[in-house]
Amino acid sequence: MPAWFWLVPLASVLALGAAYFFFSQMMKESEGTETMARIAAHVRAGALAYLKQQYKVVGIVLASLTAIFCVLAYVLHMQNPWVPFAFLTGGLFSGLAGFIGMRTATFASARTANAARESLNHGLRVAFRSGAVMGLTVVGLGLLDIAVWFFVLTRFYSIDDAHHVVIVTTTMLTFGMGAAVQSLFARVGGGIFTKAADVGADLVGKIEAGIPEDDPRNPATIADNVGDNVGDVAGMGADLYESYVGVILASAALGAAAYFGAGAEVQLTAVVAPMVIGALGTLLSVVGVFFVRTREGASAQQLLASLGRGVNGSAVLIALLSLAVLSLMGVPNLWGVWTALVVGLLVGITIGRAAEHFTSQGYAPTQRIAGSSKTGPATVIISGLGEGMLSVAVPVAAVGIGTSLAYFAGSGWQFTTDTMNLGLYGIGMAAVGMLSTLGITLATDAYGPIADNAGGNAEMSGLPPEVRERTDALDALGNTTAATGKGFAIGSAALTGIALLASYIEEVKIGISHVLDRGNEFFFPDGSSVVPGSGDALQELGLMEMMARFEVVLVNPKVIVGMFTGAMLAFVFSGITMKAVGRAAGQMVDEVRRQFREIPGIMAGTSDPDYARCVEISTRAAQREMMVPSILAIAAPVLIGVLFGVPGVLGLLAGAAVTGFSLSMFMANAGGAWDNAKKYIEEGHHGGKGSAAHRAAVIGDTVGDPFKDTAGPGLNILVKLMSMEAIVVAGVTVAIHLV
Amino acid sequence: MPAWFWLVPLASVLALGAAYFFFSQMMKESEGTETMARIAAHVRAGALAYLKQQYKVVGIVLASLTAIFCVLAYVLHMQNPWVPFAFLTGGLFSGLAGFIGMRTATFASARTANAARESLNHGLRVAFRSGAVMGLTVVGLGLLDIAVWFFVLTRFYSIDDAHHVVIVTTTMLTFGMGAAVQSLFARVGGGIFTKAADVGADLVGKIEAGIPEDDPRNPATIADNVGDNVGDVAGMGADLYESYVGVILASAALGAAAYFGAGAEVQLTAVVAPMVIGALGTLLSVVGVFFVRTREGASAQQLLASLGRGVNGSAVLIALLSLAVLSLMGVPNLWGVWTALVVGLLVGITIGRAAEHFTSQGYAPTQRIAGSSKTGPATVIISGLGEGMLSVAVPVAAVGIGTSLAYFAGSGWQFTTDTMNLGLYGIGMAAVGMLSTLGITLATDAYGPIADNAGGNAEMSGLPPEVRERTDALDALGNTTAATGKGFAIGSAALTGIALLASYIEEVKIGISHVLDRGNEFFFPDGSSVVPGSGDALQELGLMEMMARFEVVLVNPKVIVGMFTGAMLAFVFSGITMKAVGRAAGQMVDEVRRQFREIPGIMAGTSDPDYARCVEISTRAAQREMMVPSILAIAAPVLIGVLFGVPGVLGLLAGAAVTGFSLSMFMANAGGAWDNAKKYIEEGHHGGKGSAAHRAAVIGDTVGDPFKDTAGPGLNILVKLMSMEAIVVAGVTVAIHLV
C-alpha cells in the first residue's frame, strides 16, 4: 500500500472532527425567543417526519436491490461477492450525509435568525459554520467509505496483481450506485416536497392574497420551510456525496485500466492518486473554513471577502500543492496528470461563472428577462426559456474543450486513440480536480437554505424587519455561491459520465472472464470469440478493440436506438417530476384556499392556520410521485441491456449524458434567471414590488422553481445512476446474452 | 434505365397538372365583397413583400454557397462538378414550392370566407382544393427535380458501373442541401415573422384591450394574417419539400451502397425503388384528392369523413399496391423491403396519433393542462412543460421499434451488423413509406392556415358571426390533421437522420478516392492507410470496417465532443429563435400600445390603425434574427469537421439528431396542447371565455406559439441541414485532414 494512501483516512477523520466541532459550536448559540424556538421545533419535526417516510421507501428499495445482488452473487455466481455490501454502504453513507446536514440545518435556522438580530456578521458566522458541518461531513464520510473499502478489499485481493487491482476498483464503483439510488430518492422526493410547498405557498399567498413570503398567516409556510431542509439540504447532501465518491472511484478505476501493464507500483499509484487529491483538497477545505472563521471582529463586507478568499485560496492551493504531492507520490505522466487536474478546476470555474452570468441580476440576460416582464407573464416565460436554452453554449463548450485538453494531457500530449485509457484517466482526473475542494465550496453552498430558513423563522416570529433584511442579504450571497456549486456538480457529472463509459467496458471484461471461468466460450457480436483459458488474451484487448468487437459504432442500430432512448428518458424523467410538482402544488393551493375560506380568523391573525395538514400534503405527494421516475431510472439500463446488449447500453448512457447535460443546464439556468429577474424588479426596477411587471416576474419565478430545484438536479442524478448501475449489472448483461 | 423509372416524371407531371387545375378552379370563385377583396389584397401584398425580402437574403446565401462549391469543384478539385448546380436547383425548387403554396393561400382566403358565407361544405371545398395545390406542388416539384437530375446524371455516368451509380446518388443528395438551406430560412424567418405578430397581437389585443382575435381595431392583425401565410404555408411548403426529396434521395443512395456488389440491374432497381414508391404515392394522392372533391352535395359531416377516407384510403392503397409494384420491379428482398415500408407508414401513424393524444382537447393531457389553469398561469406553464416532456416517450419508442424492425426486415430478417447496408436501406425505405402519401396529407394540413386566414378576413370584413364559426370549425379540423402531419415530418426526419449517417460514410469514401486519384496515400486515424491505385480495395471496405478505421466508437473523445456539441446546438438554436420571437413580439407590443395611445379613434372604430407599420416590424425582425441561427447551422459541420474530422462530424450529427428529435417533439406537443387547452376552456369548461382560467390559458397558448411554430420546426430542419451539408462537404473534410 503506498504510504500516501494514509492521507485519506487522516483527512476523513479530521474533516469529521472539524464538522463535529462546528456543530457543537453552533449548538451553543441561543435559539432566541420562545416563539423562535417553537417555530424551529415545528420545522425540525416536520423535516424529520418527512425524512423518516423517505428513508422507509428508500430502505425498501435498497433492501430489495441488495437481495437481488445477493442472489446474483451467491446463487447465480454472476457477480463479485462484495457487490451487495459495497452497494449498501454507499446507500447508507449517502443518506447519513444528507441526514446530518438536514439535522444541522434545522438546529441552525433559529440560531442564525437570533444571531442576525445582533449583527449580519454574527448571522453569517453561524450560518456558514452550519454549512461547513454539511460540507465537511459529505467529504469526510466519502473519504471514510473509500478508505475502509480500499483497505478491506486489498486484504483479500493482491495489490501486486494488475487484474486484482482492476477488480478492487470496479467493485468499489458499486457503492457509487448505492449512493446514486439514495440521492435519486432524496433529490426527487425532496425536490417534489419543497417545490410543491413553495409553489403552492407562492401562488395563493403572494399572488392571490398579496401577503409576503413566510407570512405566518399562510398555511403552507411551515411546509415551505421544511421543504428547504429536505430538498435543498438533505437532497443536495446526498447528491454531492454521490458525485464526490463517484468521481474519485471512477478515476481510480480508470487508473487501474490505464496503467494495467505498467507494473504493480505504477498502477497502484495511479489508483490511489485521485483519493489522495481528494484528501488533500479536504485538508485544505478544513483550513479554509477555519481561515474564514477566524476573522471575528471584521465587518460584514470583509467577512464576505474572506469567504471568497477561503474558497479561492483553497482552489489555488490545491492547484499548487497537488503538483508537489503527485510528484512525491511518483505519479506517472506527472505534468499531464497535473494539467488535467488544473483543467478540471478551470472548467468548473468557467461553468460556475457562466451560470452566474446567465442567472445573476448583475448581468444582461437576467435584466433582459426582467425587462420582458413589462409585456406580461408570457414574454417573461418566452425570454426565460430562450435565455436558458442559449446558456448551455458556454458550459458545453467548456466541457468539450476541457475534455479534449484533459485527454490530450492525460495521454501524454497526443490526441490519438492509441493511448485511449491514459486519456480517459486524464478526463477522470479533471473531474477529481473540479470537485477536490468540495468541502469548502459545499459549505458556502449549504448555508444558503439555512439563511433562507432563518429568514422564515424571523418573519414568522415577528422579529423586526432589519433581521429579515440581514437574512435576505445572506440568502442572496448564497445564491451566487450556489450557482457556482451547481456548475461544479453538473460539470463533474458530465466528465464522470464520459469516463465511466470506459469503466463499463472494464466491467464487461470481468463479466466475460466469469463466463470463461465457468468453461463457456464467449462470442462477440462481430463473430469473434474468446475461449476458456484465454483470460489473459482478453485482458490484453484495448478499449478500441473491445469497442470494435462489440460494434459500438455510431451506425449500429442498437447503439442508435439506445441513444434515442437515453435522450427520451431525460425528457420523460423531467416531465414526470415537473408534472408531479404541478399536481402537488395544485393540491396545496386548494388546501390553502380551503383554510382561508373555512378558518375565518387566519387573515386577521386571530387564529392559527393548520400548518400540519400542508406538511402532510407535501409528504404524501413526494412519496407517491418519486416512485415512477425512480423505477424508470433503475429499470432502463437493465431492460436495454437485455434487449440490445453492450452496444445498446453504451448508446443509452451516451444519449442520456449528452442530452441530460444540456437539458439540466437549461433548466437550472432558466430557473435561476427567473428567480433573480424577480429580485431585480423587487430592487425597484420596472415599477418594483407590486407592479404588473413584478406580478409577471413572480409567475416566471414560480415556473422556474421545479425547473431548477426538482427536474434539473434530478436529471443529473438520473445520468449518474444509470452509468453506475450499468457497471454493476454489466456481468449480468454479458451472461444473459450468452444464453 | 428501368422502365418503372418513367412513372416518376409521369407522376410529377400529373401532380403539377392537377395542382394547376385546382388552382384555376379556386380562382374562379368570387372574393366576396369589396372589403373582403381589399383585405385579402393587403395580406397578399404584405406576404409578397416579406417573401421578396426573404428571398433576397436566401439568394445571397445560396449564391455565396454556390460560389464556394464552384471553387471547391473547379479550382481545388475537391468536389464533384455537378454539386454547385444540384445544390442550386434544390434551393430554387424548395423556394418555388413555398412560393406557389403561399400565393395560392393568399388568393384563397377571401374566397374561402366567401364560400363559407354560403355553407360550411362550400368553404371546406375551396380551402381543401387550395391546400391540395400546395400538397401536389410540393410532391410534383420534388419528383420533377429527382427525375430530371437522375436522367441527366445517368447520361454522363454509366449505370452499369456500380461506382458510378453511387456517385450519381450521392451527388443528388446535394440538392437536398440546397432545399435544406432554403427551408431553414423559410421556417426560421417565417416562424419569427408569424409568431412575433401573433404573440404581439394577442398580448395587447386579447389580454390587455380585451378585443377578440383578428379584430380590425388591432394594428397587428394584418401582420398576424400575413404571418400565417409566410410561416405556416410558405415555410411548411419549403420544409416538406426538403423532407420529401431528402428521404427519397437518401434511400436511393443507401440502395446504391447496399446492393453495390449485386450487379448493375439489382443495384439500379434498389436505387429507383424509392423514387417509384414516391411516384405511386403521388398518383394515389391525386386520386385521393379527386375522390374527396367529388362528394359535391354531401353534408359537412360526411365531407369530413370523406376527407379522412381520402387520406386513410391512400395509405392503405399504397401499402397494397407497393407490394405489387415492388414485386413487378423485381426488387431484391421483396418482403423485407415491403415490410420496412409498411413499418414506416405505421410509425408515422403512431407518432401522429400520439401527437393527437397529447395535444387534442378530447384527451386527458390537454384537459389536465386546462384544469391547471384554475390555479393560474404558473401551473398552466408547469403542467404544459411537464406533459410536453412526457409526450416524447411514444414517438421515440415508435422510432426505436420502427428502426429496429425496418433494419431487421431490410437486412433479410437478422439483427446483426454483417448486412448493415441492407438494414440501413430498410430504414430508408421506412422513411419513404412514411412520406409516400405526402401529396394528400399535406393537402389536409395546408388548408388549416387558409381557413384561419379566411376567419381573419371574415372578422375584419364584418361578416356575420356564423361565417367565423364555420371557418373556426374548418380551422379546428385542420389542427388535428396538422398534428398528424407534424408527426410524419418529425418521424421521417429522425429515420432519415439515421440513414444519412451511412450516406456520409459513402461520400467520405468518394472523398478518399479523390485523394488517391491525385496520387496521395490516405491515412486513417487508426494508423492504417490506402495507397493510390487501391480504389477498388477502398470500395470493398464495409461500413463497420470504415467506422473502425475512423474510430467512430462511443469512447473516442472526438465523437463525444461532437455529440455534446450537437446536443448543445439543438438547445442554442432553439434559444436564439425563442429569444428572437420574444424580442420582436415586445417591439410589436410597444408599437400597438403606441398606436392605441397616439391614434385616438382606433378603439371606437373611427380611424384605421397603421397596419403596414406592424408588418414592417415583423419583416425587419425576421430578416435580422434569421441570420445568426442560420450561420450557426451552416458553419457547425464545417468547423467540427476541421477540428475533429470524420468521428467528430458523425458525433455532431448523432448528437443533434438524438437530442433534436426529443426537443422538437417536446416543443411541438407542449405548444399544441396549450393551444387546445385554451380552446377547451373557450368551449365552456372551467368558467369559459373571459374567466381567470381562460386568461391563464391564453398565456400558456402565447408561450406555446414560438415553441410549436418557430423553435420546434426550425430544429427539425437544423438536424436535416447539418446531415446534408456534412455529406456535401465530406470530401473537403477528408482533404483538409490530409494536410
- Contact residues on chain A for B574, CB-CB shorter than 8 A: 386, 389
A655 and B651 in contact by Cβ < 8 A? no
Residues B350-395: pLDDT tens digits? 988 898 899 888 899 999 999 999 989 999 999 999 999 999 999 9
SS (HEC) of A43-101: HHHHHHHHHHHHHHHHHHHHHHHHHHHHHHHHHCCCCCCCHHHHHHHHHHHHHHHHHHH
Substitution target in B375, B425, B559, B573 with the highest count of A β-carbons within 10 Å is: B375
Which candidate from A379, A424, A658 shows the least CB-CB separation from B582?
Answer: A379
Higher pLDDT, B217 or A17: A17
Q: Answer yes or no: do B561 and A400 touch at CB < 8 A.
A: yes
Which of A203, A206, A554 is the best mutation test for B, with the most CBs of B within 10 A?
A554
Write down the pLDDT at residue A459: 87
Consecutive H or E run containing B530? strand B529-530
* Most A-contacting residue of B206, B379, B596, B723 (CB-CB within 10 A), to test interface: B379
> Could A385 and B575 be called an inter-chain contact, meaning their C-beta atoms sit closer than 8 Å?
yes
d(CA B627, CA B623): 7
Of B551, B574, B658, the CB nearest to A417: B551
What mean pLDDT is reported for chain B? 89
Of A386, A393, A427, the CB nearest to B568: A393
Residues of B in contact with A571 (CB under 8 A): 389-390, 392, 662-663, 666
Residue B296: pLDDT band (50, 70, 90) is low
Q: Above 90 in pLDDT, residue B433?
A: yes
Does residue B481 or residue A709 have the better pLDDT? A709
Residue at grid coordinates 404573440: B199
As a whole number of angstroms, the longest Cα–Cα distance in chain A is 83
Total-model pTM: 0.95
Which residues, given as ranges, of chain A have pLDDT below 50?
294
Residue B299 has pLDDT above 80, yes or no: no
Least Cα distance to A332 among A243, A412, A447, A445 occurs for A412
Query: Among A392, A553, A659, whose Cβ lies nearest the Cβ of B544?
Result: A553
Maximum CA pair distance of chain B? 83
What's the rounded mean pLDDT across residues B639-658? 95
Whether residue A378 and residue B702 make contact (CB cut-off 8 A), yes or no, is yes
Q: How far is A616 from chain B (nearest CA, A)?
A: 20
Picking from B386, B554, B579, the nearest residue to A552 by CB comes out as B554
Q: Which residues of A touch B202 (CB under 8 A)?
A: 378
Q: What single string gives the DSSP state of each residue in B200-249?
A: HHIIIIIIII-PPTT-TTSTTHHHHHHHIIIIIIIIHHHHHHHHHHHHHH
Q: Which helix (H) or strand (E) holds A530?
A: strand A529-530
With a cut of 50, say whether residue B294 has pLDDT above it: no
Contact present, A95 and A182 (Cβ < 8 Å): yes
Determine whether the interchain pair A552/B553 forms a contact, defined as Cβ–Cβ distance below 8 Å: yes
**Minimal-distance CA residue of chain A relative to B650:** A554
**Chain pair A-B, CB pairs under 8 angstroms:** 299
A565: nearest CA in chain B?
Answer: B396
For cell 418527512, name the residue. A50
Q: Write the residue in A378, A383, A560 that is nearest to B579 by C-beta.
A: A383
Contacts of B703 in chain A (CB under 8 A): 378, 381-382, 385
Q: Are strands B522-523 and B529-530 parallel, antiparallel or unpaired?
A: antiparallel
Residues of chain B positioned with their CB less than 8 A from the CB of A379: 199, 203, 582, 585-586, 589
With b for 16 or more beta-carbon neighbours within 10 A and e for fewer, the A258-286 pattern comes to bbbeeeeebbbbbbbbbbbbbbbbbbbbb
- Tell if the CB–CB gap between B554 and A556 is shorter than 8 Å: no
Nearest CB to A662: which of B556, B557, B659? B659
Q: What was the pLDDT predicted at A385?
A: 97
- How far is B154 from A29, CA to CA, in rounded Å? 89
Cβ(B153)–Cβ(B168) below 8 Å: yes
Task: Tell me if A557 and B525 make a contact (CB, 8 A cut-off).
Answer: no
Which residue of chain A comes nearest to B653, CA vs CA?
Answer: A554
Question: What is the reported pLDDT for B115?
Answer: 92
Model confidence at B83: pLDDT above 50: yes
Q: Give me the pLDDT at residue A493, please.
A: 84
Instruction: Give the closest-approach CA distance of A554 to chain B in angstroms.
Output: 6
Which triple of cell numbers denotes residue B463?
361578416
Residue A231 has a pLDDT of 86
Kindly list the residues from chain A whose CB atom is less than 8 angstroms away from the CB atom of residue B369. Answer: none
In this prediction, residue A294 carries a pLDDT of 45
In whole angstroms, give the CA distance from residue B714 to residue B191. Answer: 8
Grid cell 409553489 in the structure block, residue: A199
Specify the higher pLDDT residue, B488 or B275.
Answer: B275
Phi, psi of A695 (to 5 degrees): -60, -40
Cross-chain residue pair B570–A662, CB shorter than 8 Å: yes
Please report residues of B whose CB lies closer than 8 A to that of A427. 557
**CA-nearest residue of chain B to A581?**
B382
pLDDT of residue B304: 64
Q: How far is A377 from B702, CA to CA, in rounded Å?
A: 10
- Helix, strand, coil share of chain B (percent; to 5): 85, 0, 15
Residue A256's contacts (CB-CB under 8 Å, 6 or more residues apart) are A162, A165, A166, A168, A169, A170, A267, A270, A271, A506
Q: By CA distance, what is B500's nearest residue in A?
A: A555
What is residue B553's DSSP assignment? Answer: B
Neighboring chain B residues of A375 at a CB cutoff of 8 Å: 203, 585-586, 589
* pLDDT tens column, B226-269: 998 898 888 888 888 999 999 999 999 999 989 988 888 999 99
Report pLDDT digits (tens) over B22-52: 999 999 999 999 999 999 998 999 999 999 9
Helix (H) or strand (E) holding B457: helix B438-460
Which cell is B579 given? 429569444
User: Smallest Cβ distance to A378: which of B382, B387, B699?
Assistant: B699
pLDDT of residue B78: 77
**Subunit contact A658:B655, Cβ cutoff 8 A:** yes
Distance from CA of A702 to the nearest CA of B (A): 6
* Buried residues in B96-123 as b, exposed as e (16+ CB within 10 A): bbbbbbbbbbbbbbbbbbbbbbeebbbb
B298 CA: distance to closest CA in chain A (Å): 43
pLDDT of residue B293 exceeding 60: no
B578 to chain A, minimum CA–CA distance in Å?
A: 5
Using the beta-carbon criterion (under 8 Å), do A526 and B576 form an inter-chain contact?
A: no
pLDDT in tens, B124-173: 889 988 999 999 999 999 999 999 999 999 999 988 888 899 889 988 98
Q: Give the closest residue to B561 by CA, choosing from B664, B650, B658.
A: B650
pLDDT tens string B682-735: 889 999 988 999 999 999 999 999 999 899 888 988 999 999 999 988 888 888
> Which pLDDT band holds residue B501 (cuts at 50, 70, 90)?
confident
Interface test with A, best of B560, B640, B675, B723 (most A CBs within 10 A): B560
Name the residue in chain A with its Cα closest to that of B427.
A557
In angstroms, rounded to a whole number, what is the distance separating the alpha carbons of residues A365 and A388?
9
Neighboring chain A residues of B563 at a CB cutoff of 8 Å: 654, 658
Burial of B412 (0-12, 13-18, 19+ CB in 10 A): middle
Q: Which residues of A are less than 8 Å from B702 in CB distance?
A: 378, 382
Q: What is the ipTM of this complex?
A: 0.94
- How close B385 comes to chain A (CA, Å)? 7
* pLDDT on residue B711: 93
Contacts of B571 in chain A (CB under 8 A): 389-390, 392, 662-663, 666
